[in-house]
Every structure is written in C-alpha cells, then in structure tokens.
C-alpha cells in the first residue's frame, strides 16, 4: 500500500485557505499554487539520497554532501498541473518536464487523453506527477499508468487537495505510488467536484471562467 503524506505545515495551510476563497483572483491563485508547490517539493524530496564529496571552502578542505541517485522529472497533468511546475523547478532547476494532457468528460467524469510528451530517459528518473486536484482519481491513475507503460517505476503523486475517493482509487490501482497532499477534503459532489475544495483549478489558474 502506498503512503499518504499530508503536508500540513502552517505556511501551506494558510496559503491554501486563501486559494480556496472564491474571491481570490487568478493572479494570487497562481502565485500561491507555485509557492505551495515549492514548499511541498521540499517535503517530497526529503528522502533523496546523499553522497559525500571532497570540496574546498575558502578556509579548508572538507567532505560535503551532494544529492545523488536518480534525476528528477516533473510531469504535470494538463492543464492545472502546470501551475505546480515552476515551484518544483525553483528547488530543482535541472528537473526535466514532461506533459500529459487529460480532460474529464463532463458526463462520465472519466479522463480523456489528448497529449503526451515525456523526457526521453523518463524511465530512469524519479517522476513527480503534479495536479492540484485529486477528485475521482481517474486522471491521476491514467497518467500514472501511461508513465508505467513507458517503463517508469519510481513515481510520486503531488496534489493540493484530495478527496477520499481519489486517494483510495490511486492506492488501489497504484499501490507503489506515494501520494503527497496539502489537505484531504470531505467528499465529492454530484458533479465529481471536491467538497469543500476550491472549485475548478484549471479555470482559476488560467482565468477561463
Ligand atoms: C481537473 C483536475 C484534474 C482532474 C481531477 O482537470 O486538474 O486533472 O480534473 O479529477 P479526477 O480526479 O476526477 O480525474 P480537468 O479535467 O478539469 O482539466 P483542466 O485541468 O484542463 O481544467
Ligand atoms: N477538478 C477540479 O478542478 N476541481 C475539482 O473539485 C474536481 C476536479
């Protein structure tokens, strides 16, 4: 069973509250999402392995630490996942970025694939899939399955708000993928929107409604 990490740092909770408010505009929403992604990125990379390397400071020689092991790839689920990429890349500027385009069919709520472009060596990387909303879990599960078809075996899912239904679905379909969230909300409504949630993340980021 994958581990659910709820990153409930006060800075993240405070920023998330502002994002949830219906009067928060697109500019603030976008900026807060990037800031939270950076803060969550700090936690999601907490267990990266380190190695010792010899360096020289202006004072003396020493043995210092450097991150080793797999390089990173960030894979946003379009559109809303794009809003978390720059935050993670502020922490890890060399991370490569892939894109998976999915939208939810408004009636069935099932995801439909329309785009996939991944780094050539994605299967060798630690992949962080980003999407602010984990509702039914259909989009996240399909994106993870597409990555696994391309040989990825080290995947983490980073969302902002999750519904119990989506968390359970990812844990059932992809028990090897750890989930990182800022909040677990109550439930889904009849339109498969997260309650209380924050509305349609893509529309709020890009100002489309
Ligand atoms: C939203 C959201 C997720 C998905 C979550 O995307 O960004 O990708 O829905 O729902 P699920 O867990 O039930 O699959 P949407 O389909 O609205 O597309 P958009 O990001 O382009 O607005
Ligand atoms: N997608 C969103 O953007 N918000 C939800 O609450 C559910 C799916």
- Kindly report, residue by residue over 119-160, the tens digit of the pLDDT: 999 999 999 999 999 999 999 999 999 999 999 999 999 999
Closest ligand to 131 CA? 1
* Cα distances (Å, whole numbers) of residue 164 to 11, 13, 113, 115, 194: 23, 18, 24, 27, 10
Q: Which residue has the tokens 């993340």?
A: 201
The pLDDT of residue 209 is above 90: no
Concerning whether 203 is annotated as a catalytic residue, the answer is yes
Concerning whether 108 is annotated as a catalytic residue, the answer is yes
**pLDDT tens digits along 66-89:** 999 889 999 999 999 999 999 999
| Peptide bond preceding 196 in cis form (omega within 30 of 0) | yes
Per-residue pLDDT at 2:
84
The residue ranges of DSSP E strands in the chain, in sequence order, are 4-6, 50-56, 61-67, 72-78, 96-97, 99-104, 111-117, 126-130, 133-134, 155-158, 161-162, 178-181, 183-184, 187-188, 194-195
- Per DSSP bridges, beta strands 194-195 and 183-184 are unpaired
The mean pLDDT value for 169-193 works out to: 97
Q: How many angstroms separate the alpha carbon of residue 91 from the centre of ligand 2?
A: 26
Q: How many angstroms separate the alpha carbon of residue 51 from the centre of ligand 2?
A: 40
**Residues lining ligand 2, Cβ inside 6 A:** 80, 133, 135, 193-194, 197, 200-202
- CA separation for the pair 49, 127 (Å, rounded): 15
The pLDDT of residue 1 is above 80: no
């Amino acid at each position: 069973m994958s581990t659910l990490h709820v990153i409930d740092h006060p800075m993240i909770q405070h920023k998330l509250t502002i994002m949830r408010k219906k009067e928060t505009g697109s500019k603030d929403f976008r900026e807060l999402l990037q800031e939270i992604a950076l803060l969550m990125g700090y936690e999601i990379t907490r267990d990266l392995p380190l190695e010792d390397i010899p360096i020289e400071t202006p004072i003396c020689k020493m043995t210092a630490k450097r991150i080793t092991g797999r390089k990173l790839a960030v894979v946003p689920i379009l559109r809303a996942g794009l809003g978390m990429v720059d935050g993670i890349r502020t922490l890890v500027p060399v991370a490569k970025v892939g894109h998976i385009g999915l939208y939810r069919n408004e009636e069935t709520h099932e995801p439909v694939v329309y785009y996939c472009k991944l780094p050539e060596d994605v299967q060798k990387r630690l992949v962080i899939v980003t999407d602010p909303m984990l509702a039914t879990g259909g989009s996240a599960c399909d994106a993870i399955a597409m990555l696994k078809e391309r040989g990825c075996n080290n995947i983490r899912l980073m969302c902002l708000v999750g519904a119990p239904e989506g968390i359970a679905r990812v844990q059932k379909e992809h028990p090897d993928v750890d989930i990182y969230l800022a909040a677990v909300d109550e439930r889904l409504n009849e339109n498969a929107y997260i309650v209380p949630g924050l509305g349609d993340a893509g529309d709020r980021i890009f100002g489309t409604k």
